[in-house]
Amino acid sequence: MDTNTTERPYEKRQKRRGKTLTGMRHARRLSPRGPDAYNPFVLARAATWLDRAATSGFPCYPWYVSDPLLEPFRRDSSGRAFLERLRAQWEAAKTRYD
């Protein structure tokens, strides 16, 4: 029986299958330019889905600005444009309902 408690069950399954790629190795494999480089196609799809989320009931501007997972999106021009639109809507709603 394996007594190593620091490994998560997913990691144990991956090791049993002979797959031991770490997160950074996955990122390098998915993005040959490095883990911090994002595909413009992926950012465009992110913009589409985040816009859908904002228009269909989750227009929480502070969350979009502070979520660390959205940092690459915020650095992109489409992300900045999205956030500007969302900020204007959020401020209008804030003044209307305060």
Query: Quick check: 40 pLDDT over 60?
Result: yes
* Mean confidence (pLDDT) of the chain: 76
> Does position 71 have pLDDT exceeding 60, yes or no?
yes
Q: What does the pLDDT look like over 9-27, one tens digit per residue?
A: 666 666 676 655 555 455 5
Determine contact, residues 83/73, Cβ cutoff 8 Å: no
Choice between 55 and 19, residue whose per-residue pLDDT is larger = 55
How many angstroms separate the Cα of 82 from the Cα of each of 17, 44, 55, 59, 85?
42, 11, 11, 11, 5
Q: What is the DSSP letter of 76?
A: S
- Helix, strand, coil percent values for the chain (each to nearest 5): 70, 0, 30
Q: Which residue has the higher pLDDT, 59 or 10?
A: 59
Return the domain boundaries, the chain. 1-36, 38-98
